[in-house]
């Protein structure tokens, strides 16, 4: 039966019951985080299935020869899947019976779309006052754009991300990951757990209203305070930093490295290491403010010095001298990195490789026992 036994009794959210009425990325990613933390997550899919099952290539083939897009497996680990057509009375009744036993519902339908099936928060809370119900949309439950669909690329532009990303004299660019969707999944999982803690005090669940635009704007952080403090738009700076110099990507004789000496002490270490100690005494570069003001001149001096080094030698020397530095890894290099291997960030769940949620507990474990479910794999259970 559904929810009879927790998947891993020693996981932080063991026994938590979650119904996921979500597809594509933000909602399923929130559900996967909760599943990794031990929650029992039932993914309710339409007869057509989550559209990301078809977002290939590349494809992941199961042992029985069936396959789904690799994209789908990035955000659906640890769940069970049933199929329900809300227009079918029996299917709708089954979903409502599952909600009756659930602690959490995650949904990412357009604002108001679930009201006609009485699957909205107000309808469900009348009979299930302890229910924590998380709605994920592009623009939230109110405001002039509330009924519009939200797309990661569009929100990256609207939120200001793209005005900050890219080279100053080139077209603005989006990030290489779906940062608006993924950050919304992370914020949502955090909000759900906060609401569950509050329920312990009040005995009541509540509606959580999460929006891609809100979650993206919330990540503007120091760039937003730059704007508030100056009334100006922060410049697009490529790999440079508006408040710290030197700070960027520098060429060596056989590749590129990142150098990030973010204070006077680290700057002195860097230039000593590079054989250019006089740069630390140059009046233009003595303070961080001066280095920022003269960043182009300073970067040229640093670049001239780094060009004489091999990448591996420079990185090794930076490490020995305590200068923040790093390589620019392709993904094959990421998952071959000894630190990534030591932290066990790549895991095999079933026969499928995956990136685990980045939690490490002293007295608890993640629940990494279930691969992403096949469409309707658990239809006959419960």
Short-list 270, 258, 269, CA closest to 305? 270
Q: CA torsion 140→144→149→152, rounded to 10°?
A: -70
Phi, psi (degrees; rounded to nearest 5) at 92: -65, -40
CA 310 to chain centre: 34
**N- to C-terminal Cα separation, the chain:** 4
Q: How far apart are CA 308 and CA 274, in angstroms?
A: 9
Q: Looking at the chain, which runs of residues are DSSP E strands?
A: 17-21, 40-45, 59-61, 67-69, 79-83, 104-107, 132-137, 207-211, 248-252, 255-259, 325-327, 346-349, 352-355
Radius of gyration of the chain (CA): 25
Active site annotation includes 214 = no
Q: How far apart are CA 315 and CA 103, in angstroms?
A: 49
HEC profile for 268-287? HHHHHHCCCHHHHCCCCCCC
Task: Check 40, 120, 152, 181 and give the catalytic one.
Answer: 181
Q: How far apart are CA 380 and CA 374, in angstroms?
A: 13
Max distance between CA atoms of the chain, in angstroms, equals 79
110: DSSP letter:
P
Tokens of 43: 């993914």
Q: How far apart are CA 239 and CA 155, in angstroms?
A: 22
Q: Is 325 helix (H, G, I), strand (E, B) or coil?
A: strand
| Residues forming the active site | 181
């Amino acid at each position: 039966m559904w929810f009879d036994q927790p998947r891993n009794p020693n996981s932080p959210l063991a026994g938590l019951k979650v119904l996921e009425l979500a597809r594509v990325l933000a909602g399923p990613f929130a559900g996967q985080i909760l599943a990794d933390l031990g929650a029992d997550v039932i993914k309710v899919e339409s007869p057509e299935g989550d559209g990301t099952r078809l977002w290939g290539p590349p494809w992941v083939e199961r042992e029985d020869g069936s396959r789904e897009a690799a994209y789908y497996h990035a955000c659906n680990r640890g769940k069970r899947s049933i199929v329900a057509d809300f227009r079918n009375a029996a299917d709708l009744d089954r979903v409502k019976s599952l909600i009756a036993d659930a602690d959490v519902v995650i949904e990412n339908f357009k604002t108001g779309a679930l009201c006609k099936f009485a699957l909205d928060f107000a309808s469900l809370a009348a009979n299930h006052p302890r229910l924590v119900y998380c709605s994920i949309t592009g623009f939230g439950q109110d405001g002039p754009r509330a009924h519009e669909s939200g797309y990661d690329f569009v929100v990256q532009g609207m939120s200001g991300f793209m005005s900050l990303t890219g080279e100053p004299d080139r077209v603005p660019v989006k990030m290489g990951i779906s940062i608006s969707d993924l950050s919304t999944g992370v914020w949502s999982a955090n909000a759900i757990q906060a609401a569950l803690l509050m329920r312990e005090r009040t005995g009541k669940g509540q509606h959580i209203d999460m929006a891609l635009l809100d979650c993206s704007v919330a990540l503007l952080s120091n760039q937003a305070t730059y704007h508030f403090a100056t009334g100006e738009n922060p410049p697009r700076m490529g790999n440079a930093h508006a408040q710290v110099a030197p700070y960027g990507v520098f060429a060596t004789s056989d590749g590129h490295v990142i150098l990030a000496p973010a204070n006077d002490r680290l700057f002195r270490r860097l230039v000593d290491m590079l054989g250019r100690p006089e740069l630390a005494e140059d009046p233009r570069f003595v303070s961080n403010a001066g280095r920022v003001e003269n960043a182009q001149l300073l970067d040229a001096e640093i670049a001239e010095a780094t060009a004489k080094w091999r990448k591996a030698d420079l990185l090794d020397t930076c490490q020995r001298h305590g200068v923040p530095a790093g390589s620019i890894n392709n993904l094959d290099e990421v998952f071959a990195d000894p630190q990534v291997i030591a932290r066990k960030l790549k895991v095999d769940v079933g026969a499928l490789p995956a990136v685990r949620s980045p939690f490490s507990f002293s007295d608890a474990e993640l629940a990494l026992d279930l691969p992403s479910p096949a469409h309707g794999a658990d239809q006959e259970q419960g």
